[in-house]
Structure 1
Amino acid sequence: MITAPTNPLIVLPAYNEEEALGDVLREIQAKLGAIPCLVIDDGSADRTSEVARDAGALVATLPLNLGVGGAMRVGFRYALENGYDCVVQIDADGQHDPSALPQLIAGLANADIVIGARFAGEGEYSVRGPRRWAMKVLSAILSKICGTKLTDTTSGFKSTGPRALRLFAKHYPAEYLGDTIEALVIAARAGCVVHQVPVSMRPRAGGVPSHNPIKAAIYLGRAFIALLFAMIRPPISIASTEGKLS
Structure 2
Amino acid sequence: MPAWNEETTIGQSIRELRETAPWVDLVVINDGSTDKTSAIAKSHGAFVIDLPFNMGVGAAMRTGYKYAQRMGYDIALQMDSDGQHPPEYIDVLIKGLEQADIVIGSRFQGNSTYKVSGPRKWAMGILSFMFSRISGEQFTDVTSGFRAVNRRGIAQYCDFFPAEYLGDTIDSTVMAIRSGCKVVQVPVQMRERQGGEPSSGPLKSAIYLIRSFFAFGISMTRRKTEPAGKDN
TM-score range (shorter-chain normalised) is over 0.9
TM-score, normalised to structure 2's length? 0.94
Match of 1:197 in 2: 186
The structure-2 alpha-carbon separation of the partners of 1:110 and 1:53, relative to structure 1 and needing over 3 Å to count, comes to: same
- Equivalences for 1:63-82 in 2 at 5 Å? 63-82=52-71
Question: In 1, distance between residues paired with 2:158 and 2:8?
Answer: 29
Alignment counterpart, residue 2 of structure 2, candidates 10, 13, 19:
13
Is the Cα–Cα contact under 8 Å of residues 131 and 219 in structure 1 kept in the other structure?
A: no
Deviation at 1:192, TM superposition (A): 0.6
Matched with 1:105 is: 94
Which of 146, 151, 168 is residue 157 of structure 1 equivalent to?
Answer: 146
> Where do 4+ consecutive residues of structure 1 move more than 6 Å?
none
Aligned ranges 1:209-220 → 2 under 5 Å: 209-220=198-209
Q: 1:233 Cα shift?
A: 1.7
Q: Percent of aligned pairs with the same residue?
A: 49
For residues 113 and 136 of structure 2, the distance between their equivalents in structure 1, rounded to whole angstroms, comes to 27
Partner of 1:7: none
* Contact preservation (8 Å) 1:77, 1:170: no
User: Does the 8 A contact of 1:89 with 1:157 survive in 2?
Assistant: yes
Matched, 1:39 2:28: yes
Alpha carbons 1:96, 1:157 under 8 Å: kept = yes
- The equivalent of 1:91 in structure 2 is 80
Task: Give the 5 Å matches for 1:100-179.
Answer: 100-179=89-168
8 Å Cα contact 2:166/2:208 also seen in 1: no
Measure the CA separation in 2 of the matches of 1:111 and 1:167: 13
Deviation at 1:177, TM superposition (A): 4.3
Asked if the contact 1:38–1:75 (Cα under 8 Å) also holds between the matched residues in 2, the reply is yes
TM-score, normalised on structure 1? 0.89
**2:14 matched residue in structure 1:** 25
Matched residue, 1:226? 215
- Unpaired runs of 5+ residues, structure 1, are 1-11
Report the count of equivalent residues.
230
Q: Return the offset for 1:213.
A: 2.6
Contact residue 37 and residue 57 of structure 1 kept, 8 A: yes
Displacement of 1:218: 2.5
Question: Alignment RMSD, CA only?
Answer: 1.5
